[in-house]
Every structure is written in structure tokens, then in C-alpha cells.
Amino acid sequence: MKYSYLGKSGLKVSQLCLGTMNFGPETEEKDAFRIMDAALDAGINFFDTANVYGGQERRGWTEEIIGRWFKQGGGRREKVVLATKVYGDMFDEHDGPNSGAGLSAYKIRRHLDGSLKRLQTDHIELYQMHHVDRNVSWDELWGAFENAIGQGKIDYIGSSNFAGWHIAAAQAQAKARNFLGLVSEQHLYNLLERTPELEVLPASQELGLGVIPWSPLAGGLLGRNALAKSGVRSARSAKLEQNRSKLEQFSALCKELGEHEDQVALAWVLANPAVTAPIIGPRTIQQFEDSLRVTEIELDEDTLKKLDEIFPGPGRPAPEAYAW
């Protein structure tokens, strides 16, 4: 396994991040334990979760599973760079009128303590804002996070689903407070969704954030069996039909390369210098093991050019992508 610094921080993380969203609703606890043990064995030290993971009726379930895995000991907690998120509604009756999604200092304090309890740990290495909250000032946000860092509950702050200008504003306000600010941005990025190349990736590089792409396989559309699963009518199948020509060309290119589609799609994301680690979200141990080859794949310039032809992005960052 290869490792990179997380943004401008001195923290080293594996170039693959284990996503745990399926743990609980899709993956039984014993299988989740097997996947997490296999991740450590493979050198993956970066695990991502969120307080809301577990499904609509059981939010927090995924964090609880990870907490029970940590409780087994054997250095599991010490070996993991743990990332979780705050923003969503946990349906906690004690929140009263302060329930709902958001990032108030109240919510950050209460929901951080909730995550720590479920995860059975006293600290979180990377605490991420799951979305931007336009109703909260940066003075309130940075004040809340400074307090949590001062208490030893978290080490670093990350964002998720922020626009480029949100990142710029966050870092400017952090600098004014002599505070480190954001070290990462978790963002939707894959061959079918290249909009972040306009603003988010350049802003992150310029301002010292490592990008952690979520859904690097576009919800499975860039997976090895995507074209074989087009019979069932769903929103996913409709999107597959919209992109069928591109996906067929992509599949043919992968066959030429002798690699599976999911592995090439992940390798393409990882090849971007703005990216620290794409999130892999396996449901099974086999899916996890299939992902490990990614860090060994080197895509040459000719292959990257062909992928640009199949999945054209904006071409250049803003404003040159649409102006002079």
C-alpha cells in the first residue's frame, strides 16, 4: 500500500480509503469485521464513516459496528486514521427545535460526543462537515472546532460537498484566526462526474486540502458488471442507458488494458494530483480484495487521452473552460 499526506497536514493516510456506508444495512457485522481486518492487513489505515450511516431508521448503526470492532483490541483503534462526519439529522428527541440538518456549535458538540460514544473511542482523527450550512458563520464553526481540538476530541477538520468558494472562505477565516483550517474535502468525483475539475479540485490544491472522492465508481455504473445489470428498471438503469455508449467504449478499452472497469476507474481518479485517496465502499470481502490492485495500476498518457475522449470533462479549470 502507498501512503500520502492528507492535504497540508503531517498525517499520512493510505491511498485507498475504506468507506463503511454499507456496514449494517447491506453488510452484516461479522462480514464488516472481516473487511476491516483485511483492510488493516493490506495496509489501509484510512477508514471513513458518518454519524448518519445505518439507514433512515437506524442512524448511528455503522459507527456502532466500527466501535465494536475497535473493542476487540489487538491495536485496531491505534492503527486506524478514523474519519467521521457531522451535519445530518440524527432524529434525537433531545435536540428538540435544534433537530434537523446543520452545523451549529450546539449540534457539533452534541453529535461529536454521540459519535465518540458509538465508536467507543476518545478521539477522532478527521472530523468532517458532511455538507455546507449557509446559516452558520465561520466564527461559530471555527470556534466550535477549536474547542473540540483543544479538548483532544479531534485532530483535524475536513469538509464534504463544499463548493470552491466555500473552501476559499473557510480557509481565509481560519487564517485570520491563526488556525489550520480544512485539511481535506470529500467530494463526488468520477469519470462520469468531472465538474469538480472546474473549481473544487483547483481550490483544494491551492489552499492545501487533500481531495477524497466519494462514489468514484458512480454508484456502480463504472463497475465491472454494470452493463450486465441493465434489465431491472430503476433510476440507476435509466442513467446506465443514458451513458450506455460511453460505458461500452470504456469496457472495450479496459479489455484492451487487461484490467477490470472498476480498477481502471479508481486508478484514473487516483492519478489526479489533487486526490489523496478515493473511497472504496465494498459490500463483500471479494469486492474489497478486487480493489487492492488499484494502487499498482499506472495509466499512461495514451490511456488517459482515450479516457478523456470517452468521458470528456470541462477540459480546463474555470474560467478558461468556458471563457478565454
Q: Which residues are catalytic?
A: 53
Neighbouring C-alpha atoms within 13 Å toward the C-beta of 289: 5
CB 3 within 8 A of CB 13: yes
The H or E element spanning position 83 is strand 81-86
In angstroms, the CA 5 to CA 11 distance is 5
In angstroms, the CA 237 to CA 244 distance is 10
Cell of residue 124, nine digits: 477522532
In angstroms, the CA 26 to CA 62 distance is 11
279-280 vs 210-214, strand pairing mode? unpaired
Q: Is 193 helix (H, G, I), strand (E, B) or coil?
A: strand
In angstroms, the CA 166 to CA 143 distance is 17
The sheet carrying 81-86 orders its strands as: 210-214, 182-188, 154-160, 124-129, 81-86, 46-48, 17-19, 279-280
Residue 1: alpha-carbon gap to chain centroid: 18
In angstroms, the CA 102 to CA 133 distance is 6
Question: In this structure, how many other beta carbons lie within 10 angstroms of the beta carbon of residue 205?
Answer: 17
In angstroms, the CA 233 to CA 117 distance is 41
Provide the terminal-to-terminal Cα distance of the chain, rounded to the nearest Å: 41
CB 61 within 8 A of CB 55: yes
In angstroms, the CA 221 to CA 225 distance is 8
